[in-house]
Amino acid sequence: MPTVVAEAFKNISKSPGLQIWTIEKMEVVPLPPKAYGTFFEGDCYLILSISKTARGTSEALHYWIGKESSQDEQGAAAMYVTQLDDSLGGGPTQYRETQGYESPEFKSYFKSGIL
């Protein structure tokens, strides 16, 4: 595994909210919060949602697959989502989201919609 991945996942916040990464040149790169909700059809993204529940916190891990993304990028996203899940102790529920067929839960993260 590239050490860049370990670095990208090393500073994961356990606070409620969203954290999003994209795949660039087969490596995972964090997105700035101002870019949340904007997805490019040629890319793949990892989205971690942490929310407070009556029992503590709930973690959902989505990976979004753009309809024009390459097979290599899709494979990298699947590999990185597994690595991210492992770094979180296997706790998150995982979801695969495909462009145009996003789940209601996924859409609910973006109050202004998805671009």
| Per-residue pLDDT reduced to its tens digit, 8-34 | 777 787 888 999 999 988 888 999 999
Which residue from 71, 65, 25, 67 is spatially nearest to 46, judged by alpha carbons? 65
pLDDT-derived band of residue 42, with 50, 70 and 90 as boundaries?
A: very high
According to DSSP, the residues that pair with 41 across neighbouring strands are: none
Q: How sure is the predictor about 2, in pLDDT bands with cuts at 50, 70 and 90? A: very low
As a whole number of Å, the end-to-end CA separation of the chain is 32
For residue 2 the two structure tokens come to 């590239």
In angstroms, rounded to a whole number, what is the distance separating the alpha carbons of residues 60 and 47? 8
Average pLDDT over residues 79-100: 90
The CATH homologous superfamily to which domain 7-100 belongs is Severin (3.40.20.10)
